[in-house]
Amino acid sequence: ADSAGRVHPEPPQPFRSPYQRDHDRIVHSAAFRRLAHKTQVFTGYQGDYHRSRLTHTLEVTGIARTLGRSLALNEDLVETLALAHDIGHPPLGHAGEDTLDELLADEGGFNHNAQALRIMELLETRYPDFPGLNLSREILDAQAARVKGRAAAAIRPATAPLLETQVVDAADSIAYDTHDADDAIELDFVTLEELLELPIVAEAARRTAERYGELAGTDRRRGVIHELVDMQVADLITTSRAEIVRLGIGSVDQVRAHAGAAGQASRLVAHSPAVSRGKAELERFLFQRVYRSDRVMTVRLAAQEKLTRLFRWYCDHPDAMPPRFRQRAGAVGARRSVADYIGGMTDRYLEWDHARRVC
């Protein structure tokens, strides 16, 4: 009821809230559908167990709904934000994003969160009355709050983000920490025994054994992964609820105005210090042993070379792009328009396009 509305005014619908309409616009977008064939972490690896951007998004959405309901937030808004949070990712995982960022270094770089805003406001063309999806301002503000790095200064609002936004960011962190670990075990990057050296994983294993007895093999791994998610979710709810009550936060205005000890906008949805330390240790382990492993880096470099060659080919042959990207090049420049086009590709389409254009 208190939504700030849309950039392009539209009459309300009698059967759906603004955020339910936004939910449907995201799900029906081409950018959302393409997440099914965009890599989460493990680019180029055979098998269909490890996560894609779409399955990661659905896992984030499930966790976020639980958090939102437990903290008495707007579940329609939470679910929509979660479904939309990764639509700006290019193909080839973080390797693709890093490559586009380097190729556009002189033109503001490439950031998947900023790209999601471009998709929401400009690139999706599904309605005759306006460019983009014309989502509610709360969705756009939430996405802007996710932008980091050099793109943030021009986009990011100064106020603290809504609790719904904070919940989705926390759910994203819980999902990728835990499920990247699961995928890494499945693909033989690490073993469960190595992960058990981390205190947060060891505690999850202890609770699993206490609940189910001594499990072995895949049953044990899945039990530990499930418990690791549950531990983080329960800790986040308990800690955040206590902080909201302690500070007497009772309105959206109070959330937006909340400032931490340094006088800057700060977040109310957070883990306890102990779980935060455990998550930081897990993330360092994954970075060293998985994300920057020789196996991943070898595949990553090959993927980056393909993307770079295709990017340069389109810069030399802009007329080969679809008409709307050719037309937009006059306003935003050829290189940015090429990045918009390639950024929307799936992994497999980029492979196919590279084979027919460059090879």
Task: Please tell me which of 123-132, 151-160, 254-263 the model is most confident about, judged by mean pLDDT.
Answer: 123-132
Task: Please tell me which of 16-25, 40-49, 260-269, 285-294 the model is most confident about, judged by mean pLDDT.
Answer: 16-25
Q: What is the DSSP letter of 151?
A: G
Pull the structure tokens for residue 186.
Answer: 């499945």
What local confidence, expressed as pLDDT, does residue 151 receive? 60
Coil/strand/helix, residue 132: strand
Q: Are the C-beta atoms of residues 45 and 188 closer than 8 Å to each other?
A: no
What local confidence, expressed as pLDDT, does residue 292 receive? 87
What local confidence, expressed as pLDDT, does residue 182 receive? 93
pLDDT grade for 79, boundaries at 50, 70 and 90? very high
A 10 A CB-CB count for 135 gives 25
What burial class does residue 4 get, using C-beta atoms within 10 Å of its C-beta: 0-12 exposed, 13-18 middle, 19+ buried?
Answer: exposed
For the segment 222-236, the average pLDDT, to the nearest whole number, is 97
What local confidence, expressed as pLDDT, does residue 194 receive? 96
Pull the structure tokens for residue 346.
Answer: 């799936």
- Model confidence at 221: pLDDT above 80: yes
More confident residue, 184 or 42: 184
- How far apart CA 107 and CA 92 sit, in angstroms, is 21
For the segment 275-297, the average pLDDT, to the nearest whole number, is 93
Task: Return the residue matching tokens 């590709």.
Answer: 345
- How far apart CA 244 and CA 247 sit, in angstroms, is 5
Contacts of residue 283, defined as CB under 8 A and 6 or more positions apart, other chains included, come to: 177
- Model confidence at 202: pLDDT above 70: yes
What local confidence, expressed as pLDDT, does residue 158 receive? 59
DSSP-derived secondary structure for 245-286: HHHT--SHHHHHH-B-TTSSB--S----HHHHHHHHHHHHHH
pLDDT grade for 289, boundaries at 50, 70 and 90? very high
Q: Are the C-beta atoms of residues 88 and 110 closer than 8 Å to each other?
A: no
3-state DSSP helix/strand/coil % of the chain, to nearest 5: 70, 0, 30
Identify which of 2, 152, 7, 144 has the alpha carbon closest to the alpha carbon of residue 81. 144
pLDDT grade for 256, boundaries at 50, 70 and 90? confident
- Model confidence at 50: pLDDT above 80: no
What local confidence, expressed as pLDDT, does residue 348 receive? 92
For the segment 247-270, the average pLDDT, to the nearest whole number, is 80
Pull the structure tokens for residue 9.
Answer: 């005014």
What local confidence, expressed as pLDDT, does residue 93 receive? 87
pLDDT grade for 124, boundaries at 50, 70 and 90? very high
Q: Which of 96-100, 276-280, 295-299, 343-347 has the lowest mean pLDDT?
A: 295-299
One-letter amino acid of 28: H
Percent share of the chain, pLDDT over 90: 79
What local confidence, expressed as pLDDT, does residue 47 receive? 55
Identify which of 304, 315, 358 has the alpha carbon closest to the alpha carbon of residue 340. 315
Identify which of 248, 187, 233, 276 has the alpha carbon closest to the alpha carbon of residue 66. 233
Identify which of 320, 299, 304, 310 has the alpha carbon closest to the alpha carbon of residue 349. 310
The rounded mean pLDDT for the chain is 91
- Model confidence at 201: pLDDT above 90: yes
- Model confidence at 264: pLDDT above 90: no
For the segment 308-323, the average pLDDT, to the nearest whole number, is 97
pLDDT grade for 325, boundaries at 50, 70 and 90? very high
More confident residue, 299 or 243: 243
| Interval 26-49: pLDDT, tens | 999 999 999 999 987 655 555 555
- Model confidence at 352: pLDDT above 70: yes
What local confidence, expressed as pLDDT, does residue 1 receive? 79
- How far apart CA 57 and CA 10 sit, in angstroms, is 28
